[in-house]
Amino acid sequence: MESTKIILDENEMPQKWYNILPDLPNPLDPPLNPATNEPIKIEELEPIFAGELIKQELSSDRYISIPEEILDIYRMWRPSPLYRAKKLEDILKTPAKIYYKYEGVSPPGSHKPNTSIAQAYYNMKEGTERLTTETGAGQWGSSLSFACNYFDLECKVYMVRSSFEQKPYRKSLINLWGGSVVPSPSNETNFGRKILKEFPDTTGSLGIAISEAVEDAAINDNTKYTLGSVLNHVMLHQTIIGLEAQKQMEMAEDYPDIIIGCCGGGSNLAGISFPFIKDKLDGKSDVKVVASEPSACPTLTKGQFRYDFGDTAETTPLLKMYTLGHEFIPPAIHAGGLRYHGDSPIVSKLVDEGLIDAISYHQIEIFDAAIMFARTEGIAPAPEASHAIKAAIDEAVRCRKTGEEKTILFNLSGHGHFDMSSYDRYFSKKLSDD
Amino acid sequence: MESTKIILDENEMPQKWYNILPDLPNPLDPPLNPATNEPIKIEELEPIFAGELIKQELSSDRYISIPEEILDIYRMWRPSPLYRAKKLEDILKTPAKIYYKYEGVSPPGSHKPNTSIAQAYYNMKEGTERLTTETGAGQWGSSLSFACNYFDLECKVYMVRSSFEQKPYRKSLINLWGGSVVPSPSNETNFGRKILKEFPDTTGSLGIAISEAVEDAAINDNTKYTLGSVLNHVMLHQTIIGLEAQKQMEMAEDYPDIIIGCCGGGSNLAGISFPFIKDKLDGKSDVKVVASEPSACPTLTKGQFRYDFGDTAETTPLLKMYTLGHEFIPPAIHAGGLRYHGDSPIVSKLVDEGLIDAISYHQIEIFDAAIMFARTEGIAPAPEASHAIKAAIDEAVRCRKTGEEKTILFNLSGHGHFDMSSYDRYFSKKLSDD
């Protein structure tokens, strides 16, 4: 029987990230200072972000070298495997070929450490002693704690309350690697106290948690803020996924017709797709890229492409992106990592320009797809990643009907080992179909 | 920086298991029929076990070919990686070299599928339609459910009650792959009802759960029983771990002076060590093998080497093994997979003959070691596997004191993603030091 694993040799691991900014057909609209509506100045970002990350945010270099200290940590689990989903293809009776890149092999269990390691490293280099952040499902928070552990930084995580309650064990992971975590809104910031007073029963949101983490970084010494998605430098760091996948598809002597990622802030989709979108912009491929998002938080499918705040308290710069409005609080679906009102400005721009398609799914069909995947490919997927699975299954079923032998590649961004309570709710028919 | 991962090519994956029986210096004492005290006859085992597994249990063939259908499933995650624990060595300031084989990469997260896949396969071949088993921590139960899913078998798991309550999400995994699970003692068997009546508050034990699963298999049609450890054929299937590790140590141009595994029923220790013990018996090495067990269930360090029942209800054959007595019910420590009164007859024999050493540890020092490991090597280990980590750390510290540059190899038999509640108890200082 043929192999279904495509393993890239460690020596073949990419040494540079790919920056899509200089290749965009039209330049990004700049982030604006909400007080002046003028493009934000670098000095205004410096109290919050490490200098090197701001530089990367605005860089026009197509490739940026990955420092050896970051590669050293990446090598703990990278290159990540690419799988041919033969057993899933068989059960779907599809002529399509389905591949998936599996990012759940990282110790925190998702793609998030690709950027948390980089962000912690650059902050350490610049003398930062403490990092704050928000987290939805906890994948980002645990990944930042994991990264801070390696660079001797304190880590403080504001975790969206609904996830804090649904996913108690991602908190334990944060503690395991030495970080600390509170439910957001919390009593530890002015904004958190304000929200708690007005809406004591709120489930929280990423927008609120971002406001708290930014406030914490702004008022505390030697403290910077980090973001697990949305920003350009986060997309940059995640491109290692797609750069590896390109080499692995080459090993498989294949090339994707369709690339799929789930989409909350956009980073795992960006990671797998941007290197292939470069091929398309270079006229070398005609790949279709699909962002799969929850119907409960339909940023790309129902939102508007306009300037908006990244957070609820209106403390961030204005970003030009697809948004549901920065006061939008989505239902407490189990794909907590996809509950964000906005989206990456780059991903938004590419959607606006027709280079990325978007699709949305309801919660129960997502879990149906997750179960089918677990019973064929073996892996218990995260609810977030299951949005990509569902879209891949739909494409494969379409191929069954049309007879097309398309090559589908999706990003399995993380495992669901800390999401078992949502599976329990699914099996006991207690899951809402948001 | 040098690589710390040693990846074996899929083409190099062993195609045969190693059977230590013909190489034992002295033959095993046979299992006895408790009614007659005579060696058990094959016919007496046939109502409970698949014929091919009984054959393997008694085989004198040194190598047994692994069927292609089993290799096909193994290849989903095998060969498993071998790591050099450089970051752990650094923090310990030891001249020792520490390697670990990581079996947590399997979808159920431990070494257990190495045998569950084989057991399900042979049962399917012989027309079995339903398998029963017991499980402690749930690693075996989830692995059997995973295996039954691939061979279209029903799966019924009796899970030790203390683990059922401590580790709710291993139940969810069992359901994810289509198996069903009840806490043991249960109301579903005569023996379970008897125990519940006498000891309504019992935490359960592996001995009780085995009795229930055997009773279920004996009274239901087309149903066989499977065991996740202890028996010779289970040790056999696990040798793929050590056979891979031998090739990987060769790739690293090294050879272990000390091999360590945690020990409950003995299968992961057997798996990593038996191929190296063969080298020792062949006069090619002087490796020291160490079984690390909990002080709360000190089978090898405090038990007696004698005939005893494998279960509490006295339904199994008598096995010559180290035992604490089949009525022993250990405290509800979090390493639920190591709470067994007996041990593999082969491992017991090797301990008795001085070919394997045994050591025991209390619960809190095990978690101290687990945290040190998570903060250096990144992986959150299972409490069971952390017994091997602790013993490896102790050996490395001894080397620091003596200056010896020993090579230590241990088996990291599983991850702790479903054990986070025990980490929570550790961090909140609620962990007993059993």
ipTM here: 0.95
Chain B residues whose beta carbon lies within 8 Å of the beta carbon of residue A114:
none
Residue A135 — very low, low, confident or very high, per pLDDT cuts 50/70/90?
very high
Smallest Cβ–Cβ distance between B172 and the set A375, A377, A424 belongs to: A424
Is pLDDT at A417 greater than 70 in this prediction?
yes
Closest CA to B135 of B434, B431, B421, B418: B418
Report the amino acid identity of residue B15: Q
- Are A282 and A47 in contact, with CB atoms under 8 Å apart? no
pLDDT digits (tens, 9 = 90+) for A377-409: 999 999 999 999 999 999 999 999 999 999 999
* Structure confidence at residue A269 (pLDDT): 98
Is B107 in contact with A423 (Cβ distance < 8 A)?
no
Residue A94 — very low, low, confident or very high, per pLDDT cuts 50/70/90?
very high
pLDDT digits (tens, 9 = 90+) for A303-344: 999 999 999 889 899 999 999 999 998 887 888 889 899 999
Which domains does chain B possess?
Answer: 5-12+79-109+240-427 (3.40.50.1100), 16-64+111-225 (3.40.50.1100)
Q: CA A332, CA B10: separation in Å to the nearest integer? A: 42
Chain A residues whose beta carbon lies within 8 Å of the beta carbon of residue B107:
378-380
* Structure confidence at residue B2 (pLDDT): 60
Smallest Cα distance from B120 to chain A, Å:
15
pLDDT digits (tens, 9 = 90+) for B151-204: 999 999 999 998 888 778 889 999 999 999 999 999 999 999 999 999 999 988
Is pLDDT at B1 greater than 70 in this prediction?
no
Round to the nearest angstrom and report the end-to-end CA distance of chain B: 41
Least-confidence region, from A89-98, A379-388, B197-206, B376-385: B197-206
Question: CA of A77: which chain B residue's CA is closest?
Answer: B5
Is A169 in contact with B109 (Cβ distance < 8 A)?
no
Q: Report the residue count for chain B.
A: 434
Spacing of C-alpha B215 from chain mean position: 23
Is pLDDT at B137 greater than 90 in this prediction?
no
* Structure confidence at residue B336 (pLDDT): 81
Smallest Cα distance from A72 to chain B, Å:
7
pLDDT digits (tens, 9 = 90+) for B191-231: 999 999 999 999 888 889 999 999 999 999 999 999 999 99
How are beta strands A258-262 and A407-412 bridged, if at all? Answer: parallel
CB under 8 Å to A107, separation ≥6 — which residues? A76, A77, A113, A146, B378, B379, B380
Mean pLDDT score of chain B? 95
Surface-to-core class of residue A36, CB atoms within 10 Å of its CB (0-12 exposed, 13-18 middle, 19+ buried): exposed
A425 touches chain B (CB under 8 A): no
* Structure confidence at residue A334 (pLDDT): 84
How are beta strands B154-160 and B180-184 bridged, if at all? Answer: parallel
Smallest Cβ–Cβ distance between A1 and the set B1, B72, B421 belongs to: B72
Q: CA A4, CA A145: separation in Å to the nearest integer? A: 33
A59 touches chain B (CB under 8 A): no
Is pLDDT at B356 greater than 80 in this prediction?
yes
Element (DSSP H or E) covering residue B410 = strand B407-412
Q: Long-range contact list for B366-375, CB < 8 A, 24+ apart? A: B366/B294, B366/B335, B366/B390, B367/B422, B367/B423, B367/B426, B367/B431, B369/B393, B370/B416, B370/B423, B371/A176, B371/B426, B372/B88, B372/B91, B373/B88, B374/A176, B374/A177, B375/A149, B375/A176, B375/A177, B375/A178
Chain A residues whose beta carbon lies within 8 Å of the beta carbon of residue B377:
76
Chain B residues whose beta carbon lies within 8 Å of the beta carbon of residue A71:
1
Mean pLDDT score of chain A? 95
* Structure confidence at residue B87 (pLDDT): 96
Q: CA A271, CA A235: separation in Å to the nearest integer? A: 6
DSSP B187: S
Best residue of B77, B142, B417 to probe chain A, by most A CBs closer than 10 Å: B417
Residue found under tokens 């080397």: B399
B252 touches chain A (CB under 8 A): no
pLDDT digits (tens, 9 = 90+) for A220-277: 999 999 999 999 999 999 999 999 999 999 999 999 999 999 999 999 999 999 999 9
Smallest Cα distance from B173 to chain A, Å:
8
- Count interface pairs A-B at CB distance under 8 A: 98
CB under 8 Å to A430, separation ≥6 — which residues? none
pLDDT digits (tens, 9 = 90+) for A174-217: 999 999 999 999 999 999 999 999 999 998 888 899 999 999 99
Please give the share of chain B, as a percent, with pLDDT higher than 90.
90
pLDDT digits (tens, 9 = 90+) for A272-281: 999 999 999 9
Helices (H), B93-204: 113-125, 139-150, 161-166, 168-176, 190-198
Of residues A417 and A2, more confidently modeled: A417
B42 touches chain A (CB under 8 A): no
Residue found under tokens 């195609």: B15
Least-confidence region, from A330-334, B349-353, B399-403: A330-334
Smallest Cβ–Cβ distance between B375 and the set A149, A371, A424 belongs to: A149
pLDDT digits (tens, 9 = 90+) for B252-289: 999 999 999 999 999 999 999 999 999 999 999 999 99
Is B427 in contact with A172 (Cβ distance < 8 A)?
yes
Q: What pTM did the predictor assign?
A: 0.96
Is B172 in contact with A427 (Cβ distance < 8 A)?
yes
* Structure confidence at residue A329 (pLDDT): 86
Q: Which two structure tokens, joined as six digits, stand for B293?
A: 């067990």
Question: CA of A113: which chain B residue's CA is closest?
Answer: B378
Smallest Cβ–Cβ distance between B177 and the set A4, A374, A420 belongs to: A374
Is pLDDT at A2 greater than 70 in this prediction?
no
* Structure confidence at residue B330 (pLDDT): 85
Best residue of B13, B117, B169 to probe chain A, by most A CBs closer than 10 Å: B169
Is A76 in contact with B168 (Cβ distance < 8 A)?
no
CA angle B152–B157–B162, rounded 5-degree value: 155
Chain B residues whose beta carbon lies within 8 Å of the beta carbon of residue A4:
75-76
B107 touches chain A (CB under 8 A): yes
